[in-house]
Amino acid sequence: MTADVHAWLTDRVATYLRRSPEGLDTSVPLADYGLDSLTALAITADIEDEFDVTVDDALTWDHPTIDALAEVVGNLVEQGA
């Protein structure tokens, strides 16, 4: 499941940042790509909608890379949170 979450997050972030998913280094902090607070909140809302989980609004700041986000969201999905 985490691989699916990772792929989905990579695509979603790429869309918001207007980049190709292949052009993103998933270990680089999203802020380094220019992610702002409004986009971070939008990604958080998308995560909740896509995976039917509830997450803190600060999720993207607490876990600032796609790799870190995918791990946390993947664990939430597996736990059924």
Q: Is the pLDDT of residue 3 over 90?
A: no
Global pTM? 0.90
Average pLDDT over residues 2-23: 93
C-alpha 1: how far from chain center = 14
Q: Is the pLDDT of residue 1 over 90?
A: no
Residues across the chain: 81
How crowded is residue 7: how many other Cβ atoms within 10 Å of its Cβ?
13
Q: Is the pLDDT of residue 81 over 70?
A: no
Q: Is the pLDDT of residue 80 over 90?
A: no
Chain segment 21-79, per-residue pLDDT in tens = 999 999 999 999 999 999 999 999 999 999 999 999 999 999 999 999 999 999 999 88
Predicted pLDDT at 2: 74
